[in-house]
Amino acid sequence: MQPGDPGDLGAFGLQPQQPQISPEQAMQGLAQLQAALIQAHQMQHKLMEAQQQIAATEVQGQAGGGMVVVALNGSGEVLGIRIDPQVVDPGNVENLQNLVVWALRDAAENMREHVKAVLGPLAAESGQPLPE
């Protein structure tokens, strides 16, 4: 340090004032912190339960008035496809392909709606909106 350099003593050679808090204020602050930590732990537990519920869910999607039905699980895995033999036309494979795609899209949308229903209350509780 150079002569005249105030260093850590403040601009006028005085030590900066530290805000004083009472023991009651300190205890109140600790209680608030503990309550926040408990709330965060509870939210984490609820989120884990919701994730398990979603993973165990199976939804279906359909196209062609139920002529093609697709089942998905909460992980997005295709569990099965049921195709009515009436839509199997070797001369029009494109129609069948479209029906399968539409049924998959319907199933995916049904899963998105289920996820919103499960996570929506948690999002509202945390004050965070669900992504669209």
User: For the chain, which residues make up each domain, given as ranges?
Assistant: 22-126
For residues 98 and 92, the answer to whether their CB atoms sit within 8 Å is no
Is the pLDDT assigned to residue 9 strictly greater than 70?
no
How large is the average pLDDT for residues 31-45? 88
Is the pLDDT assigned to residue 4 strictly greater than 80?
no
Tens digits of residue pLDDT in 74-112? 988 999 999 999 999 999 999 999 999 999 999 999 999
CA distance readout (Å), 2 to 7, 13, 38, 124:
9, 13, 51, 58
Is the pLDDT assigned to residue 3 strictly greater than 60?
no
CATH of domain 22-126: 3.30.1310.10
Measure the CA–CA gap between 50 and 48, rounded to whole angstroms: 5
Tens digits of residue pLDDT in 43-75? 889 889 988 999 899 999 999 999 999 999 998
Beta bridge partners of 59: 72
* pTM metric for this prediction: 0.66
How large is the average pLDDT for residues 112-118? 91
At residue 122 the predicted structure's pLDDT band, cuts being 50, 70 and 90, is: confident
pLDDT value at residue 20: 82
Which residues, 6 or more positions from 78, have their beta carbon under 8 angstroms from its beta carbon? 70, 71, 72, 104
